[in-house]
Amino acid sequence: MANDLMNRFDFDPFFDRMARRFFSPSDMEDFGNLKTDIKESDKDYTLKVDVPGVDKQNIHLAYQNDTLSLNISQNQSSEQKDENGKVIASERSHGVMSRSYTLPGVDRDNISATVNDGVLSVTLPKVTENDQNNGHIEIQ
């Protein structure tokens, strides 16, 4: 019966994956793993991070002490009603993921970030001397 109730809801990949890992311990090594591609050139670092189903306001980036920190916090709720409008099931979920990347020599004031089609793209230009300013990075 519990499975029948759970099958009535369409979960986004963020929460569905989290629920599968909770009930399937063999997959625990991937929990919270944000798939990332990092490219380095003479001018900058470029990161592409898969964030399917995550709104940009739920993504928080900060660069401090040669480390880029990525934190994602997402809430979801769903409600199932019968033909009379009576609620027969209600679900709420909260998920948090984070990851840090050591990327030295970055010009903190010129970091840019965008989210498009479930991919977070971050460009971190290099400088000759470390810029140790603290602060939040705005996602465009």
pLDDT for res 8? 46
pTM here is 0.62
pLDDT for res 134? 55
Residue 68: CB atoms within 10 Å: 22
**Residue 69 structure tokens:** 């920190």
Written out in words, the top-level CATH class of the domain with range 2-137 is mainly beta
CB 121, CB 48: distance < 8 Å? yes
CB 15, CB 95: distance < 8 Å? yes
Residues in the chain where the model's pLDDT stays below 50? 1-9, 11, 22-31, 129-132
Residue 137: CB atoms within 10 Å: 19
